[in-house]
Structure 1
Amino acid sequence: MSIPQSYKAFRRTADGSTVEMVEENLPSTLQSTQVLIRIHAVSLNYRDVAMMNGKYPVEVIDRGIPASDCAADVITVGSQVKDFQPGDHVTVIFDLANLTGTEDERRVLGGDVDGVLQQYAVFDQSALVHLPKHLSWEEAACITCAGATAWLALDMPRSSGTALLQGTGGVSMFALLICLAAGIKPIITSSSDAKLSSVQALGDAGVVQTINYKTHPNWEEKALELTGGRGVDVVVDNIGPTAIVQNLSSLARRGVISLVGFLGGFKVDEQPEILGQVLMKSGVIRGINPGSKVDLQKLCMFLEEKEVQLKPLLDETIFAFQDSKAAFDHLYAAKHMGKVVIKI
């Protein structure tokens, strides 16, 4: 195919409150280890809208290109690239500096550096991972952040136990599918009985247990009831520190609370009993990010092996590239179930 000199992208506006379409230029030549990719689909995460609504706790570059999750094919490669060739289906790692999980540097897509809401992009070969072959562009675009976060939050690999998944957003829905493939018993929460009914249909009868946290505001008690008083082995916590007391109450001995999101904010009243509960339960509270290139490769191998179908992860509305602003608004209004995807 002929490679255009310019292409379309979306950048955050000068005031950071929304996005606008701009024209970008491709480099005339690639460096020896660089790869030019054509992006076919992008999925959004809560962090993408939090950056534009004053709710993101980390500074981001001005006028940056948002989004971290994409599915693309390789167009051309530099002279020293060995692992990729034109036509390969690839995605980009969330943190360009995090290859093995031991690095201290941080270069996160959509925040520290330009993200992937663009028609084309150039990355070093070290930032790319081969995608599972059985996924569509839209399905594959959900892996980088939500998928890898869910993988790490569930403390994979594991093949037993019970997981409490908070909400029906991208991370929780991906975690649900991993649970169903791996043999982990999932309990998922929502304020919508309709969403919970749809979620239950993803597994065999009785496999997916649900809690409406509006009907059961003391949802930790319901979680204990559903586990016969034992508690859950892992909590995928999308609410954040404000839910820590309830999370601990729902936890089994030697269980893990994976802090994934911050929907409830960061401020929490002093709770001196928290450390006592952690001690008595021999529990672990840990912060989760999307992990390293190695973690993403492990997830992709798992998906290839299990042939986990990602279609249930997608929100029913797929947005066109030119309607990207509407996709951000849709996500921020919490009208979605699963991943909000933009088709490029």
Structure 2
Amino acid sequence: MTLPTTTRQYSYPQFGSFNNLVIQEVPVSSPKAHEVLVKTHAVSLQFRDLMIANTTYPGGAIENLVPCSDMAGEVIAVGEDVKEWKVGDRVCANFLQDTLHNDSPNDLGLGGAVQGVLTQYRTFPAETLVAIPSHLSYEEASTLPCAALTAYNALLSGYEPLKAGDKVLIQGTGGTSLFALQIAVASGATVIATSSSDEKLKIATKLGAKHVINYKKTPNWAAEVVKLTNGIGVDHVVEVAGNATLGQSIASVRKGGSIHIVGVLGGLGDVPAVDIVGPCIFKQLKIRGIYVGSVVQFKNMNKLISANVEATRPIIDKVFQFDEVKAAYAHLESQAHVGKVVIKI
């Protein structure tokens, strides 16, 4: 086949808003010896993408950034030294381009520290790609690199990995939260889910949550979590809001339990005016920050997904076209979505 010589892609001439995104046609080169050229079929959005646009993401981003980190695509050419991929293979790129075994001192995250994936064609180092589970569409697979892998890393790769019979608290119904719910259910755990919307909680129940709590109607939801667990607390909390809810998460977890901090949806403001250190010591808690995951974890997660096809199928709220990127960002910003927002390339 004739390889493309140009690609249409979005980029930021300046940050401040996703409305600053512009689309351009730029050259695309053939893959080097250890690279693979991929045709992008779908991209999913992250809360991180909004933070980068608004310049609130810690560490910032490179100039003239091509945004977004999560993609699924098709291999259309391979470098001369590449043995593990062939034309036609369906792949996702790992978010952290330099992290194969969680052993990198750097932070080469796509769509931030390095150019992202909101483009028709892009080369990747061969070792940073992961095969898409055969039962998933490109749109579904595009949701895996950050949201799913973060949830998997949190629950199954920590100090005390999740096991059947454990109790797990998830917050909200965004992409990472729903994947955490699905992974927990597939692993035989009992899930308690919170949200501000009864309609969203119905979806969580349908996906397997045993208990649901509307935190607007029950502001002291930690007390309800403890009550639902017979006064003990949950084994795991997947913390997506950060400082805004950490105090209640600590109150929700059992002695010796685990809190996995995966997001800052509540903002990066001051630590809440509650005693955090004391309970962490006396309850002997294991608190771990999660920053997506490695290529090896991605491959292991895909084994779990392929073995639990129905329980782990990605939840997509809405699919936008390539010329509707700003509308996709606006939909994500509205927080009206349940699950993932996807752009079809």
Does TM, normalized by the shorter one, top 0.5?
yes
By how many angstroms is 1:320 displaced?
0.5
Deviation at 1:40, TM superposition (A): 0.6
Q: Does 1:159 align with 2:163?
A: yes
* Inter-partner Cα distance in structure 1 for 2:146 and 2:274: 33
Q: Secondary structure at the match of 1:38?
A: strand
* Shift in CA distance, 209/13, structure 1 to aligned 2, threshold 3 Å: farther
Which residue identity lines up with residue 194 of structure 1 in the other structure?
A: E
Instruction: Pick from 178, 182, 195 the counterpart of residue 173 of structure 1.
Output: 178
Match of 2:94 in 1: 93
Q: Percent identity?
A: 40
- Alignment RMSD: 1.5
Distance 1:308 1:104 in 2: 37
1:309 Cα deviation from its structure 2 partner: 5.4
> How far off is 1:221 after superposition?
0.8
Worse-matched range after superposition: 64-73 or 303-312: 303-312
SS at match of 2:276: helix
- Structure 1 residue 293: deviation in Å? 1.1
Deviations 1:112-163 (A, max 9, x none): 0111111111011011111111101111111100011001122345332011
Offset, 1:286: 1.3
Judge conservation of contact 1:92–1:128 (CA < 8 Å) in 2.
Answer: yes
- Which residue matches 1:228? 230
- Aligned pairs (5 A) from 1:69-88: 69-88=70-89
Matches within 5 A, 1:125-204: 125-156=126-157, 158-160=162-164, 161-203=166-208
Q: Distance in 1 between matches of 2:280 and 2:313?
A: 37
| Per-residue deviation, 1:228 | 1.3
Single out whichever of 299-308 and 120-129 deviates more from structure 2. 299-308
Paired AA for residue 3 in structure 2: I
Amino acid at match of 2:217: T
1-structure distance, mates of 2:53, 2:316 = 23
Q: 1:237-256, aligned counterparts within 5 Å?
A: 237-256=239-258
Pairs aligned (count): 339
* Partner of residue 110, structure 1: 111
**Which one-letter code corresponds to 1:93 in the other structure?**
N
State the 1:261 CA deviation.
Answer: 0.8
AA of the residue aligned to 1:252: R
Looking at structure 2, the residues matched to 162 and 295 of structure 1 have their Cα atoms a distance apart, in angstroms, of 23
Deviates more, 1:320-329 or 1:297-306: 297-306
Q: CA deviation at 1:105?
A: 2.0
CA distance in 1, matches of 2:254, 2:42: 39
Q: Answer with 255-264 or 12-21: which moved more.
A: 12-21
What are the within-5 Å matches in structure 2 for residues 1-344 of structure 1? 1-18=1-18, 19-27=21-29, 29-156=30-157, 158-160=162-164, 161-203=166-208, 207-269=209-271, 271=273, 273-308=275-310, 311=313, 313-315=315-317, 317-344=318-345
